[in-house]
A and B are shown apart, each in its own frame.
Chain A
Amino acid sequence: MIPIMHYSKERGDKMSKKSEVISSNKVKLSASSKLFYAISYSFIAIITALCLVPFIVLVSSSFTSEQYIRFHGYSIIPKEFTTDAYELIFKTPITIIRAYGVSILITFIGTVLGLLLVSMTAYVISRKDFKYRNAFSFFFYFTTLFNGGMVCTYIFYIQYLHLKDSLWALILPGVFNVFYLLIMRSFVSTIPTALIESAKIDGAGEFRIFFQIILPLLKAGMATIGLFLALGYWNDWYNAMLYINSDTKYPLQYMLYNLLQQTQALAKIASQAGIVVADLPTNSLKMAMAVVATGPIILVYPFVQKYFVKGITIGSVKG
């Protein structure tokens, strides 16, 4: 008893000495530390500003009058404030509501399907008593090392799976992602195997164990992967460009892309609103559309950021 006390006392002394040294270091910052902090604060501040400025330009341009933009270009501070562009968008909101609908639909279905597939598969390949877990893991992992590439995939999807102009073409390609599978596997591996074994002894079937015991414990993992999936679907425009023809099936991002590229899309909005194209506030309209398409992400961003940080951190550690 006594030696331990003695030891911890000595240790305590050491600790306090250590922290004294450190705190005295902090009080008297050396010249090199001062320089370092000056550099680090200003560097981070500059990078932050660079990350923010484009967003500010986007928002303030969407509120600037067309006349001003035409003569003076886009700028950081909104000048000649107007809400013309937004009024135009929400005057005949049918195009944008439809695009929102498509985006919400594919995001919802894709995320639910993806979560089910990824969590179930991750559970099976982390079951140590499943003999073929490594074989299956490799079978999945191999697709990240080698794949057919854009041409084969495109031709196969269109000629053999008949996905042209189908909303499934927006959902299915992104549903099962091996990177998410690996992240989910490390979430599953934190669940003690004793839990599964005792449930088995109590006579629970495999599906029951998975849905009633494992899934409730996977909440953090499901939230993380679900958000990754949802972000991917929400931001997708590539699959729409490849597979979707009819503009009633355009998701939000692809509609926005078309608006930026083509005057046709603009002309459609003009005719719906009953004005001539020349009177259209083209420049601010583009920016306003971008704001409307990104809005939901920026709104939920502060609440979901931590899940992404978690997912990325886990993903970067080899499983």
Chain B
Amino acid sequence: MEKYLKSFTHELKKNYALFLMIIPAAIFVIIFSYLPMSGLVLAFKDYRFNLGVFGSKWNGLENFRYLFESGTGWLITKNTILYNLLNLITSQMLAILVAIFITEINSRVFKKVTQSFIFLPYFISWVIVGTFVYAIFNYETGMLNNIIKGFGGDAVNVYSMPGVWPFIICAFNAWKWCGYNSVIYIAAITGVDSETYEAAGIDGASIFQRIRYITIPCIKPTIVTMLLLQVGRILRGDFEMFYQIVGNNGQLFNSTDVIDTYVFRSLLQNSNLGMTAAASFYQSALCFIIIMIVNAVVKRIDSDYALF
């Protein structure tokens, strides 16, 4: 211990300026990330506002029991996982397809222009995306009903049809992230040694064979890394997306409520904060465990693919 302290003071003396440089960020992270974690004790407490976080009484696992016995816990967990799986598969597939096609296209202008437009949705806020959803699907003036009526059909109220929202959400998620993700895959594909392609060309490989046997195996590490990153977040719903696309629409909660939107709603309504904190705690803890397990497993199979 003493030895350790000695080496610390030695380092402090030698590199005191570097310590000074890193201290602001360290203090910042402590205040804004680490200290708020202490609030996780709320999950095990019967929270009373006037008593504060630390003055409130302990109540063991009562909050968790209530969360799951009321059925809410299972519903939001199921929704979060299903949405993330669906979004993961569709958005990555779309991005990979776009990347493969764009890199094969010869016309430089076409390539540049289309890539710029596909990247554009990444730059706008979810509020604007919410505006799009409204402009397309709202009952009175939405474009969808406009088109249906144009063909002589009856207007549909999409906001009272819970079944279609998974598809709407999934489509907009893929739409917004397509440009961003395809940038990553395009970088991976252009990183492939061009001689490999030339050799394949000489050997008479068709374009489909080239993609099947060269491009896809070469970008496999990227695909795996992207999947891993997403799997680690499988219990985290993209709050901004869900809130802007669906909003506070009670009719759709059964099919669109994820952990994050549930937590937010109960936070605003101040209803049973202990149970909300329990949901939050359960999400954070499980996420952490999943990342650790996935990473450990991947490390055993092939340490090149591991995240850390």
Interface residues of B (CB under 8 A from A): 7, 11, 15, 17-18, 20-22, 24-26, 28-29, 31-40, 42, 52-53, 94, 97-98, 100-102, 104-105, 110, 113-114, 116-128, 130-132, 134-136, 140-143, 145-146, 149, 175, 178-180, 183-184, 187-188, 198, 201-202, 206-208, 222, 225-226, 239-240, 244, 247, 260, 263-264, 267, 273, 276-277, 280-281, 283-284, 287-288, 291-292, 307-308
Contact = CB atoms under 8 A, between A and B. Distances in A.
Interface in A107-158: 117-118, 120-121, 123-125, 127, 129-132, 136, 139-141, 143, 145-157
B146 A73 contact: yes
A151 B280 contact: yes
Nearest to A156: B36
B239 A152 contact: no
B131 A121 contact: no
B66 to A, nearest CB: 15
Contact of A235 (B32, B102, B125, B188): B125
Contacts of B179: 51
Contact of B124 (A37, A160, A294): A294
A43 interface: yes
B117 A73 contact: no
Given A231-B123, A238-B240, A141 B22 contact: no
A294 B184 CA distance: 25
B141 A210 contact: no
Given A32-B206, A48-B117, A73-B143, A123 B276 contact: no
Contact of B40 (A129, A141, A152, A161): A152
A94 interface: no
A252 B64 CA distance: 39
Interface in A29-65: 30, 32-33, 36-37, 39-41, 43-45, 47-48, 50-52, 54-55, 57-58, 61
Contact of A36 (B207, B263, B281): B207
A145 B293 CA distance: 12
Contacts of B260: 150
A286 interface: yes
Contacts of B143: 57, 73-76
Contacts of B97: 43
Contacts of B178: 47, 51
Contacts of A54: 132, 135-136
A290 interface: yes
A219 interface: no
A54 B131 CA distance: 9
A237 B21 contact: no
B35 A44 contact: no
Contacts of B20: 206-207
B21 A206 contact: yes
Contact of B284 (A30, A139, A148, A154): A148
B131 A51 contact: no
B180 to A, nearest CB: 6
B201 A286 contact: no
Interface stretch (A1-9, A254-262, A263-271): A254-262
B118 A51 contact: yes
Contact of B276 (A125, A151, A160, A235): A151
Interface stretch (A83-91, A172-180, A186-194, A272-280): A172-180
A205 interface: yes
B135 A152 contact: no
Contacts of A45: 114
Given A140-B25, A145-B291, A206 B267 contact: no
B146 A253 contact: no
Q: Which of B37, B128, B130 has the most CB of A within 10 A?
A: B128
Contact of A51 (B101, B175, B288): B175
A70 interface: yes
A131 B140 CA distance: 64
Contacts of A155: 36, 39, 42, 53, 273
Contact of A173 (B32, B102, B123): B32
23 contacts: A30-B206, A33-B207, A40-B105, A43-B98, A44-B118, A48-B114, A58-B135, A124-B22, A146-B288, A147-B36, A148-B39, A148-B284, A149-B280, A150-B239, A150-B267, A151-B267, A152-B277, A156-B38, A172-B32, A175-B28, A237-B126, A301-B123, A302-B116
B13 to A, nearest CB: 12
Contact of A130 (B18, B175, B287): B18
A94 B33 CA distance: 37
A37 B105 CA distance: 7
Contact of A120 (B22, B132, B206): B22
